Amino acid sequence: MEIKYDVTITSIGKLARTFLENNNSTILLDEGIRPNLADMVIEHTPGELAEDIKVGDQLLMGGLKYSVEKVGDDVNANIREEGHCTVIFNGEGSMPGQIIVKGPSTPILSNGAHITFTGK
């Protein structure tokens, strides 16, 4: 299992928890990049995207494993630039910055937890 991207959660905004609970989605962003968005996002340590995230890859988050079903056209560039993307859990989406994943349920997130994308 090849690790493509691995970061650690440093802050979870109040609205980020609401988005996860109500919309089954979360916005990821490198810590400190955009302080004005901190309440809406899950901030994480900066990380290096070793290889593009693709359909069929795995996401490990909140103790759960997800299969990557769709990757928007801008996702990989946005992750490389700002650690930014929107993850949609067990839903639909078609925006260029979204990753659609399928798995058992939405993750339970906490500071210090890892967000890891791996190859097939």
Question: In the prediction, which pLDDT does 91 show?
Answer: 92
Tell me the whole-structure pTM to 2 decimals.
0.95
* Full residue range of the structural domain in which residue 52 is found: 3-118
Q: Rounded to whole angstroms, how far apart are CA atoms 115 and 112? A: 10
**What's the average pLDDT block by block, 10 residues per block, for the chain (120 residues)?**
95 95 96 93 97 98 96 98 97 93 94 95
Q: 52: burial class by Cβ within 10 Å (0-12, 13-18, 19+)?
A: middle
> How many Cα atoms occupy the beta-carbon half-sphere of 59 within 13 Å?
26
Q: How far apart are the first and last CA of the chain?
A: 7
> CATH number for the domain including 96?
2.40.33.40
* Antiparallel, parallel or unpaired: β 58-61 and 42-44: unpaired
Residues written for the chain: 120
Question: In the prediction, which pLDDT does 93 show?
Answer: 83
Question: In the prediction, which pLDDT does 117 show?
Answer: 98
Question: In the prediction, which pLDDT does 87 show?
Answer: 98
* Number of structural domains the chain divides into: 1
Question: In the prediction, which pLDDT does 45 show?
Answer: 98
The answer to whether the beta carbons of residues 56 and 68 sit under 8 Å apart is yes
Q: Which of 112, 91, 118 is nearest to 23 (CA)?
A: 91
Question: In the prediction, which pLDDT does 30 show?
Answer: 98
